[in-house]
Structure 1
Amino acid sequence: MGTPPAASRTVFAAAHVVADPFADTAPEGPAAIDWDATLAFRHHLWSHGLGVAEAMDTAQRGMGLDWSSAAELIRRSAAEAAATGGRIACGVGTDQLIAPEVSLVDIRAAYEEQLSLVEGAGAQAIVMASRHLAATATGPEPYVDIYGHLLRQAAAPVILHWLGPMFDPALQGYWGSTDLDLATETFLRIIAEHPAKVDGVKVSLLDADREVQLRRRLPEGVRCYTGDDFHYPELIVGDAHGFSDALLGIFDPLAPLAAEAVRLLDSGDTGGFRKLLDPTVALSRHLFQTPTRYYKTGVVLLAWLAGHQSHFSMVGGLQSARSLPHLRRAYELADGLGLFPDPELAAARMRRLASVYGGTE
């Protein structure tokens, strides 16, 4: 498979999907995926010892990737993981629901369907936040009921994902309150009632202090997977009370460098880890700048510039979601980090993109 996984931390990269640029599609139509290129990128991540977090928001789940395509992606990636020995965890949501108004019963059934598919494919489940639940629940109790039901059903411990509204505005007020302190109490209550069924929690709130306080209150044996693309180096290193593992979208473009940094942690070289990973934060903050949910555009740009795919097009036409100056700066920051195996290819592709956008070369 390549480099073995890290020993000191559990690390997942949330992987993007590669669109089929020749498919005759519309932004609101079904996703058209280049399966060969998409799966090849997963092998790239596994070759560096990273786990793959599949069919998450980095894969444009809910932003161009429909449930039918996500289900096929899960099946294919899980089969590849089984064949190569790579670690994989896949998103479980409710995005197959298309009615404008749904009930809590509908939401629970949708979650059950997706959990069954992910576990049936042999992958670990990541229970994602549901837009439908956020829109339907009137307080914390529906979350306690539905998540408790799913955790009792789960065949193996799952990862619970708390995705903040900066990543998806439709998730405002998740866990039954816009007060994050109250929301945290509900989240911790669900975990405390089912600790054996929770492998860990992925926290994507871009609030390092809140993540640290949360992970200190987790039951013993429950991991905290940081999803904080602004503060990941210090959160992964941790403090005297513990550390965060990682499940990060920024580790998609940073895979080789991130894997090397975590291996330094394996040897106890905290300083070396920080020296290698701290300089990447400027790139991550740039990609994830407001509106944060469009960070996928920069991630796919860097995959194209690095030679992992032959084009810069995305499902749903999301390649248009960032400006040329934004994309140019992403290129400059990534180039400064030495992320491109072939810098000349990256420079040539960036010049070509500027020409297409109407800029100067």
Structure 2
Amino acid sequence: MTNLTLISSNGATSAVPLAEAPGHTKPTGALRSRVAYAAAHVVPRVFADNTPGRPADVDWDATLAFRRHVYSWGLGVADAMDTAQRNMGLDAAATRELISRSAQVAREEGGSVVVGVNTDHIDDERISVSAVIDAYKTQLHFTEEQGAGPVLMASRHLARAAQSADDYRRVYRGVLASATTPVVLHWLGTAFDPLLEGYFGSSDRRVAADVLLEIIGENADKISGVKMSLLDAASEVSVRERLPEGVRMFTGDDFNYVGLIGGSDVPDAPQPERDPASPRQHSDALLGAFAALTTVASAAIQALDAGDSDRYLAILGPTEELSRQIFAAPTFYYKTGVAFVSWLNGHQAAFQMVNGLHSARSLPHLSRIVELANATGALERPELAAARWHGMLRCNGVDTPGASA
């Protein structure tokens, strides 16, 4: 029997048995009960100069192969978003190429792809509100030309330029008026990006939610959904229950997704109080966590498709502890955990990231990810994962006496 060596924060090592692969199977058709996107990461070329401050040098073969993997399990891909290191190493040129290449792969695979639209190709930190509108439109029109669905991401430029909620209304009204395909709005919380404090005109989430819902209500024919990434399940449910017909709630809550996605179909799942009279009793998903949990997430939604809420909860429920570890504070370094799991599962040759971000988490932090991934069925190829992890430990001067027994 193979064991996994783990390391604690005080340097002590321990061993746990390596679990067998969970045996999840790919769906035979489209997932039906939920719309689910995995927010995918990018893989750098191993020999490239992907050090802090350098332009991203992407391994396109590995990066796009991961997207094909996601599609093969029935999930959609959310690309060029936070998980792909927007504003944390993925420069404007690489972002445009990623969008173009990813949209092409989606067409080839018959998959659904949405991509981030932002203002981050503008180098100046401070621009006018009018310039924010123009910058958004530039990326929006490029995305539409590629045939991908737009996700209107929260803009640091807008957060700096806006003087009141009226500036947010003006910007979104102007950008949405020019959209030719339905758009997903994204409300990103400060745990993911502290520079977005006060987005939608207020640091009070209830006040900001009113502004967001007003924008959606005025432009419902242009909006297909809203992704909320506040790590606050109660706030998400409150907004979800007030959405106009035809506008989906895509949970971006990597701490509480099990209950939010399960909704009334999974009454035993932990979730905030909701209005039983509301026509909206669950959230769909657009999650960075699902890039690390692709096979598990697919199996869980397949269980929902089959009407088996107990199996859904048994499969997905334990993964929230793993996701909380990956997204632990400082939360914006969660991308490191996503890439780490990708490497463990054989989707990239090396544990490397653009901008050198693979160094953003400690060895004990990664060890806990290994432990939880092993316990929750997130290791797709357990023997490979164990070999890679033990090699990493040895490279860092850690003995692995419990590696086999």
How does the TM-score come out when normalised to structure 1? Answer: 0.98
After superposition, the C-alpha distances for 1:303-337 in whole angstroms (9 at most, x for unaligned) are 00011111001000000000000001101110112
**SS state at 1:13 partner:** strand
The percent identity for this pair of structures is 51
- The answer on whether the counterparts of 2:165 and 2:211 sit within 8 Å (CA) in structure 1 is yes
Residue 105 of structure 1, CA deviation: 1.8
Residue 156 of structure 1, CA deviation: 1.3
**Cα separation, 2, equivalents of 1:360 and 1:250:** 30
Task: Indicate the residue corresponding to 1:328 in structure 2.
Answer: 367
**SS state at 1:252 partner:** helix
Task: Indicate the residue corresponding to 1:301 in structure 2.
Answer: 340
Residue 15 of structure 1, CA deviation: 0.3
Task: Indicate the residue corresponding to 1:196 in structure 2.
Answer: 221
Task: Indicate the residue corresponding to 2:292 in structure 1.
Answer: 253
Task: Indicate the residue corresponding to 1:133 in structure 2.
Answer: 158
**Cα separation, 2, equivalents of 1:33 and 1:87:** 22
Structure 2 residue 168 is the aligned partner of structure 1 residue 143: yes
Pick one of 198, 201, 208 that aligns with 1:183.
208
- The answer on whether the counterparts of 2:50 and 2:353 sit within 8 Å (CA) in structure 1 is no
- Taking only aligned residues, the RMSD between alpha carbons, in angstroms, comes to 1.3
Residue 193 of structure 1, CA deviation: 0.2
Task: Indicate the residue corresponding to 1:31 in structure 2.
Answer: 56
**Cα separation, 2, equivalents of 1:233 and 1:274:** 7
Letter in 1 for 2:321: A
Structure 2 residue 97 is the aligned partner of structure 1 residue 72: yes
Q: CA separation of 1:303/1:25 partners in 2, compared to 1, >3 Å: closer, same or farther?
A: closer
**Cα separation, 1, equivalents of 2:261 and 2:112:** 19
**Cα separation, 1, equivalents of 2:76 and 2:53:** 31
Task: Indicate the residue corresponding to 1:20 in structure 2.
Answer: 45
**Cα separation, 1, equivalents of 2:396 and 2:200:** 42
Moved more, 346-355 or 300-309: 346-355
Task: Indicate the residue corresponding to 2:133 in structure 1.
Answer: 108
Task: Indicate the residue corresponding to 2:149 in structure 1.
Answer: 124
Residue 3 of structure 1, CA deviation: 4.3
**Cα separation, 2, equivalents of 1:126 and 1:341:** 30
After superposition, the C-alpha distances for 1:243-288 in whole angstroms (9 at most, x for unaligned) are 1000000000111111111111112222221111001011001101
**SS state at 2:291 partner:** coil
**Cα separation, 2, equivalents of 1:327 and 1:336:** 14
**Cα separation, 1, equivalents of 2:292 and 2:28:** 17
- The answer on whether the counterparts of 2:46 and 2:349 sit within 8 Å (CA) in structure 1 is no
**Cα separation, 2, equivalents of 1:106 and 1:360:** 56
Pick one of 277, 296, 310 that aligns with 1:271.
310
Residue 6 of structure 1, CA deviation: 1.1
Task: Indicate the residue corresponding to 1:172 in structure 2.
Answer: 197
- The answer on whether the counterparts of 1:13 and 1:53 sit within 8 Å (CA) in structure 2 is yes
**Cα separation, 1, equivalents of 2:259 and 2:162:** 35
**Cα separation, 2, equivalents of 1:79 and 1:256:** 23
- The answer on whether the counterparts of 1:201 and 1:225 sit within 8 Å (CA) in structure 2 is yes
- The answer on whether the counterparts of 2:251 and 2:286 sit within 8 Å (CA) in structure 1 is yes
Structure 2 residue 341 is the aligned partner of structure 1 residue 316: no
Q: Work out the number of aligned pairs and report it.
A: 361
Task: Indicate the residue corresponding to 1:244 in structure 2.
Answer: 283
Structure 2 residue 82 is the aligned partner of structure 1 residue 57: yes
Q: Is the helix fraction higher in 1 or 2?
A: 1
- The answer on whether the counterparts of 2:296 and 2:377 sit within 8 Å (CA) in structure 1 is no
After superposition, the C-alpha distances for 1:54-94 in whole angstroms (9 at most, x for unaligned) are 00100111100011101100000001111221110000001
- The answer on whether the counterparts of 2:289 and 2:323 sit within 8 Å (CA) in structure 1 is yes
**Cα separation, 1, equivalents of 2:189 and 2:389:** 32
**Cα separation, 2, equivalents of 1:313 and 1:186:** 40
**Cα separation, 1, equivalents of 2:284 and 2:334:** 21
Residue 342 of structure 1, CA deviation: 2.4
What are the equivalent positions in structure 2 for 1:333-348 lying under 5 Å apart? 333-348=372-387
Residue 169 of structure 1, CA deviation: 0.7
- The answer on whether the counterparts of 2:326 and 2:334 sit within 8 Å (CA) in structure 1 is yes
**Cα separation, 2, equivalents of 1:13 and 1:103:** 33
Letter in 2 for 1:138: Q
**Cα separation, 1, equivalents of 2:285 and 2:50:** 35
Residue 109 of structure 1, CA deviation: 1.1
Q: Which has the higher contact order (CA 8 A, sep 6+)?
A: 2
Task: Indicate the residue corresponding to 2:241 in structure 1.
Answer: 216
Task: Indicate the residue corresponding to 1:87 in structure 2.
Answer: 112
After superposition, the C-alpha distances for 1:150-202 in whole angstroms (9 at most, x for unaligned) are 11111111100000000011111100111111111110010000111110000
**Cα separation, 2, equivalents of 1:275 and 1:2:** 18
Letter in 2 for 1:174: Y
Structure 2 residue 330 is the aligned partner of structure 1 residue 291: yes
**SS state at 1:251 partner:** helix
Residue 25 of structure 1, CA deviation: 4.0
- The answer on whether the counterparts of 1:3 and 1:48 sit within 8 Å (CA) in structure 2 is no
**Cα separation, 1, equivalents of 2:43 and 2:28:** 24
Q: CA separation of 1:319/1:264 partners in 2, compared to 1, >3 Å: closer, same or farther?
A: same
